[in-house]
Amino acid sequence: VSLESLLEEKIKELTKCGDGCPSPVTKTLSCTSIKASGRLASCPSGMAVTGCACGYGCGSWDIQNGNTCHCQCSVMDWATARCCQLA
Amino acid sequence: VSLESLLEEKIKELTKCGDGCPSPVTKTLSCTSIKASGRLASCPSGMAVTGCACGYGCGSWDIQNGNTCHCQCSVMDWATARCCQLA
Amino acid sequence: VSLESLLEEKIKELTKCGDGCPSPVTKTLSCTSIKASGRLASCPSGMAVTGCACGYGCGSWDIQNGNTCHCQCSVMDWATARCCQLA
């Protein structure tokens, strides 16, 4: 093996970063909204819920199963989960 | 070139990290609030909206143009965007 | 010193990452909820508040001292802070 290829191998191993992996330095926080009818709205796998919005002006909510917004007010027509990830 | 300088060159190239680049390992999530009168409040460029608060006890909001909180209740006096980034 | 150990030394130095440091590439956003009775709920040290929920359907809140949710409606029984970090 050449010194060059040995270097590349070693660096990839130690930084746990294979070919074409994005630089961690350039990662940013990226968020999107998932809206659903009813009182529940879930973030897709790999995203975290950072907050929720609810219909009928309701600001009472909790998170169920780690990734689902649950709007608590008695009557509810929609729920939105705000979902974020590093990307 | 010396082995040392060759190493530095190669590591910086492969980790896409030049002189004085901050260690990604020490990055943390940093958040701030932006409050505005009316029903709209926007996060500055480079920050993501993770949630919104509204006047009149209102918990119904949505995100417009990716970075603006829009409070939906019919009467509204203020809106606050919660804005986060990696720093 | 061997070439191998020199390489490891240099890479750890330049990426500011010692033995057993977690790969920044695999870091993800992790969130949890902290609920408290009354109108205040705080995130633990090291976590950032991304949003708040309040009792009585209230969606009016602000952040105090950087890490505490303060529910503003006149009558309030509980507050929840949504707290996130890189992990």
Instruction: Indicate the class that CATH gives domain C23-86.
Output: mainly beta
Chain B touched by A58 (CB under 8 Å): yes
- What integer is the mean pLDDT of B47-74? 98
Q: Where are the domains of chain A?
A: 22-86
Query: How does residue B26 score in pLDDT terms, banded at 50, 70 and 90?
Result: low
**Subunit contact B33:C84, Cβ cutoff 8 A:** no
Chain B touched by A48 (CB under 8 Å): no
> By the 8 A CB rule, do A59 and C57 touch?
yes
Sequence-ordered list of residues with C-beta below 8 angstroms from that of B40, at least 6 positions apart, any chain:
B64, B68, B69, B70, B71, B79
Domain B22-86 has CATH 2.40.30.30: no
Query: How does residue B22 score in pLDDT terms, banded at 50, 70 and 90?
Result: very low
Query: ipTM above 0.85?
Result: no
pLDDT block averages, 10 residues each, chain C of length 87: 75 59 67 98 98 98 98 98 96
For C25-43, the pLDDT digits (tens) are 568 999 999 999 999 999 9
Closest by CA to C18, choosing from B8, A16, A14, is A14
